[in-house]
A and B are shown apart, each in its own frame.
Chain A
Amino acid sequence: MDDIELAVVGAGPAGIEAATAAALAGVNVALIDSSPKPGGQFFHQMPDPFECDDDSPHHAKGRQLLQRLESTGVHLLRDTLAWGIFEGPKPGTWCLTLHGPDVPPRLNVRAVILATGAFDRSIPFPGWDLPGVMTAGAAQRMIKNQRMLPGKRAILTGTGPLQLSAAAHLVDAGVEVVAVCESAPELLRRGIPHLLALLGQWERMREGLSYLRTLAGAGVPYRLGWAVTSARGGDRVSEATMAKLDRSGRPIRKSEIAEAVDTIVVGYGLTPSTELCRLLECELEFNRPRGGFVPRRNERLETPVPGIYAVGDGAGVGGAVMAMIEGRIAGQSAAVQLGRIPERVAVEGISREQAALRREQRFSRMLGDLFSPPAGLYALATPDTVICRCEQVTLAQIREAISYGAQSVSDVKNLVRTGMGNCQGRTCGSIVAHMLAMETGRTMEDVMYFNVRPPVHPLPLGVIEEYNEAAGASDQGRAMP
């Protein structure tokens, strides 16, 4: 492991392609992923006890990518969390700190490709913290991965094609789906200017249509311009209220309908996972269609931090096809940077991928434009709605911080602890930013994003210490008397 030159963090479509491309060019690569098996969310592999034959074209494609990855000799570090990234011990190197079985606690490399993916975005409404309210990703995981039903009677609220897929999976699994609320207003009219972007996207359209067919077959209403506006219940959610939204995304109260449900699935799109980028103080820019704050990158997908590349949904949500193209560009670019292939040899392949990337960007821009949650949804929360769930901070407390003069999300954090808990603001960060922007008339660029600190997930102190239980000691620095 001592001669690893490049670390790729995240073994989803982007990371697999990046690691493969770099390894094919002769780079010594480590591919790090926190799951037991590579594939990411898109090519997700079952845990062994649930393994079964799946001959869908989707899985065939995934298997093919993984086989190719294995044949390249990439060091795959499974079950491994990259909990921090630091300036390395030599100039121009980076130190990744790792936690996992049989992996070194630190990995010093000359280049890093961050392919960390994205996570579900929630928008709070009264009752959103009740048991039984979950993200679309969580519901899919329960069904596909754990073979468990999240509930018996569900309603979905959110936006975008991932909702349709979650709804279809729920129906297939035998859950009674009361309605799918799609918050985007006037989808069809707004879609017309984007029709050109659909050219050549037959496979995706077929996939979308098959989900719609499943829902239609089960008699599930697809409500355009609607959202779940509140939930009630005791130990678990028992009732959801949905309402039609006005143009700004605020609910029209007289349209409200209550439904008895035990499950609410929330999926307002995805937020890029930029934690490792932010540890490096890499400059981020706000890009609404790409899911929020994303790292700045050049044509080779290198960030302003030299030697650090960012690809896939973690650098701006764009889906698996785009992620794979970006992975190949960054993998080859890193190989050039590390001196494994000359620029003149790489340039042709890279330009071809860049052209493909531009085509994909058209499509993803369309999705981003059509399915960005309208700002008015952030007005659903009431003063006693908990916004930061880790630290139990309510909207009223956030408003109090604003009344003190808070101008940025970090001001709110310092005053009322939003984002200081276990998740470091993954869930509430963009919510607090939207609320602060709305209530103070500022832009997202003004209110900014939370700082992130290592470890990016909580870890026992003994792990950070690199404490060796058998030896009863740390592999420590010099102790001074």
Chain B
Amino acid sequence: MSRDSSFDVVVVGGGVIGCSVAYHLSAAGLRTALLERGQVGAGASGANFGMVQTNDVEMNHSIPMVKASYARFDHLEEELGMPFGFRRAAMLRLLFSEEQWKLSEERARILSRNGIPYEFVPPERIREIEPIVDPQGLFGATYSSYQGQLNPFHLLWAYLRRAISMGLSLYTCTEVTGFQIEHGRMRGVDTTRGRFSAGAVVLATAAWTRRLGEMIGQDWSIHTFRASCMATEPVYNTKLNTILTSADHVEMDVTGKEDAELTVLAVTQLPDNRFLIAQANRPGEVLSTMISHAAPKTMAIMAGRYLPSLRTARLLRAWAAPTTFTDDGRPLLGPVKGIDGLILAASYRSGVVHSPLAGQIVTQLVTSGRCDLIDISAFAPERKIGQAETIYMVKSSHSDSDGKAS
């Protein structure tokens, strides 16, 4: 199939960011095409835990962005005309030692000061919040109420459905094979289904962004790791109030000592009583959606340790997806220097919570060339990416990252 079609904007990537961008562009009256190499949500967005999280944020530059984006969830279902099961939920993170609290202390201070509640809970109060957790042996917990939970597939489709009704053209199984650039200006993309012409191209391509950048001599330092998740059948004899995470983790070799699953517990119970359990981290560059042999076992070990009653619950599915991070914890968001009309919206730490604002920011950039919603200069794709200045470090301290699989 070959095609030569003209659009105002081509958005690449049918994940939650790409769908939001496509929705906001369509709502602004722009003729938009959304290209996806596989199926809608084939990457991390379709493997998502559905957590809307504000506490696992890079703390130097990203707090205003996460707050502005989170605030939009209050009215987003109404705006899109389709429910996606958003509810506010608190996160309880179990701590086993004073050392673990020390690592979280600065985060608690900064977040609270910025209006994201994040407090220490002594062991004797844990039962009030989560009666099924045995506080024996715990040093305490951190409690963060400003979080949420939603159905990630429905969020994706709420954006998409509204966008399609406003004229979005969706092309799945359409992989970008090259870029059309003339005299430093974006002219369109070549794909496995022919050429798409557009003066503006948005890459919302998460784990695949680096590979696309290499086609045009860009070095975008986005790393990937494998995040895993699993779902049980509905469980009625166990009730969980919070999104439960743990500062402890278990480790199991995948292909040798250098390559291990580091499992940090994150458990939630959905409105239909199924449990979702996440996540396993596999450091290293992966683009595969195949789960490792170690991940289901380590996730089950962690879940069984805190919620022994789940041992008799049947597991229905376990899956994985490549998730991204940058060494400074910030996304690559903004216009690409030297190529007019190319915009990046990639490697968000948590795509779900950032998706509403991402669409708004990109649409402003396309229509006016600037963004007055928040200061995005710290996210410029051409910045020199160093290690985060704060305690925020992805690679070297997995045990400190709050559970996430977004």
Contact = CB atoms under 8 A, between A and B. Distances in A.
Interface string A409-440: 01100110000111010000000000000000
Nearest to A465: B300
Contacts of B50: none
Nearest to A105: B297
A480 B292 contact: no
B289 interface: yes
Contact of A414 (B40, B294, B316): B40
A405 B153 CA distance: 14
A286 to B, nearest CB: 14
B276 interface: no
B88 interface: no
A448 B293 CA distance: 26
A448 B316 CA distance: 22
Given A407-B170, A465-B300, A89 B256 contact: yes
Contacts of B106: none
B250 A458 contact: no
Contact of A415 (B153, B256, B297): B153
A476 B252 contact: yes
A103 to B, nearest CB: 16
Contact of A95 (B154, B293, B303): B293
A87 B304 contact: no
Contacts of B291: 86, 453-454
Interface in A330-370: none
A280 interface: yes
Q: Which 10 A-B pairs have the closest CB atoms?
A: A477-B252, A465-B300, A86-B293, A414-B153, A462-B311, A453-B317, A458-B314, A464-B300, A95-B293, A404-B161
B360 interface: no
A195 interface: no
Interface in B256-294: 256, 260-262, 288-294
B160 A405 contact: yes
A97 B296 CA distance: 11
28 contacts: A87-B255, A89-B255, A89-B256, A97-B293, A280-B290, A281-B288, A405-B170, A407-B39, A408-B40, A410-B39, A454-B291, A461-B300, A464-B297, A464-B318, A465-B303, A467-B311, A476-B252, A477-B250, A477-B252, A477-B253, A477-B260, A477-B298, A477-B301, A479-B248, A479-B250, A480-B251, A480-B399, A481-B96
A411 B38 CA distance: 11
B90 to A, nearest CB: 24
A329 to B, nearest CB: 27
B389 interface: no
B312 A460 contact: yes
Interface in B214-255: 232-233, 248-255
Given A461-B313, A466-B297, A480-B250, A414 B290 contact: no
B233 A422 contact: yes
Interface of B: 39-42, 46, 96-97, 153-154, 156-157, 160-161, 164, 170, 172-173, 232-233, 248-256, 260-262, 288-294, 296-298, 300-301, 303-304, 310-319, 399
Contacts of B303: 461, 465
Given A89-B253, A411-B39, A477-B250, A84 B311 contact: no
A151 interface: no
Contacts of A404: 157, 160-161, 164
A461 B153 contact: no
A415 B157 contact: yes
Contact of B314 (A281, A405, A459): A459
A461 B39 contact: no
B251 A478 contact: yes
A474 B39 CA distance: 38
Nearest to B255: A89
Contacts of A458: 233, 314-316
Contacts of B157: 404-405, 411, 414-415
Contact of A476 (B161, B301, B314): B301
Nearest to B156: A414
Contact of B318 (A454, A460, A466, A477): A454
Nearest to B307: A461
Contacts of A88: 293
A438 B270 CA distance: 34
Contacts of A420: 316-317
Nearest to A90: B255
B63 to A, nearest CB: 29
B301 A460 contact: no
A420 B294 CA distance: 23
A194 interface: no
A217 interface: no
Contacts of A59: none
A381 B303 CA distance: 41
B233 A86 contact: no
Nearest to A89: B255
B13 to A, nearest CB: 16
Nearest to B170: A405
Residue among A97, A404, A453 with max Cβ neighbours from chain B (10 Å): A453
A354 to B, nearest CB: 32
A314 interface: no
A480 B249 contact: yes
A44 interface: no
A460 B233 CA distance: 10
A480 B233 CA distance: 29
Nearest to A93: B255
A91 interface: yes
A481 B300 CA distance: 18
A477 B313 contact: no
Given A407-B172, A410-B39, A465 B250 contact: no
Nearest to B154: A415
A258 B40 CA distance: 45
B41 A414 contact: yes
A328 B301 CA distance: 41
A106 interface: yes
A477 B253 CA distance: 8
A458 B314 CA distance: 6
Contact of A465 (B40, B41, B311, B319): B311
Contact of A462 (B170, B250, B312, B318): B312
Contacts of B319: 451, 453
Given A106-B293, A281-B289, A477-B251, A467 B304 contact: yes
A455 interface: yes
Contacts of B399: 480
A415 B160 CA distance: 12
Given A89-B256, A411-B39, A461 B232 contact: yes
Interface in A74-100: 84, 86-91, 95, 97
Nearest to A401: B157
B304 A478 contact: no
Contacts of B233: 422, 458
A462 B317 contact: no
Given A280-B290, A480-B250, A474 B170 contact: no
Nearest to B292: A86
A84 B296 contact: yes
Contacts of A422: 233, 316
Contacts of A280: 290
Nearest to B82: A404
